[in-house]
Structure 1
């Protein structure tokens, strides 16, 4: 006793023209590749069948913790466990400027104060 599904499976596996056309139609309906292709083309098919990146929550809502990371690096630098060469350079330039007497004094222009 065979069911309709087994008859359909046998029909699809047959090598007739009708079977090959039905196999292509079935592949199109279920979103598979209709005609067998080379592996290079299958890679493109896999890429396009994958979930788009803009719908991936991990990628869209990614936010690096800049403030916490910066505070951690500053604290590690104070303890001597991290070396920030750029900050060291800026401090050295500031120290050398002070030794030469070239300290910049920042003044605000107060246009609001009119006596």
Structure 2
């Protein structure tokens, strides 16, 4: 039997020396030194965790608005998503065109044929 196995068996015994050594070991490795109840362990767990304001997954989270918006536009084109606000805007534009009051479409300068430099 190795010396390590003897040390483990010595630690399992209920001697004063083994209790003190296990407490010292727990203190060295950052564990609770003495046996505690579950209510106290909850407090220990809370204090051992990283604070919420320092957690990267909490403060560094930004939803992917652009990609989500493009996905929803594509789904709307396929007829799988109903965007009531966009439907309303299109209906209002259609009604303006029917009355003859539609705004002229904006054409970017790059697409116009009369841009002279």
Q: Which bin holds the TM-score, normalised by the shorter protein? A: 0.5 to 0.7
Shifted more, 70-79 versus 86-95: the winner is 86-95
Cα displacement (A) at 1:63:
4.4
Structure 1 unaligned segments of length 5 or more: list them.
105-115
Shifted more, 42-51 versus 82-91: the winner is 42-51
SS of residue paired to 1:36? coil
Partner of 2:80: 81
Residue-pair matches, total: 101
TM-score, scaled to structure 1: 0.55
TM-score, scaled to structure 2: 0.54
Cα displacement (A) at 1:103:
8.6
Q: How does 1:75-114 map to 2 (within 5 A)?
A: 75-92=74-91, 98=96
| RMSD, aligned CA | 3.8
Shifted more, 23-32 versus 8-17: the winner is 8-17
The separation in 1 between residues aligned to 2:24 and 2:4, in whole angstroms, is 16
Cα displacement (A) at 1:83:
0.5
The separation in 1 between residues aligned to 2:43 and 2:90, in whole angstroms, is 53
Partner of 1:37: 36
1:72-104 CA deviation, whole Å, 9 max, x = no partner? 2123223322101233344556667x489x999
Residues 40, 85 of structure 1: CA spacing in aligned structure 2 closer, same or farther, 3 A cutoff? Answer: farther
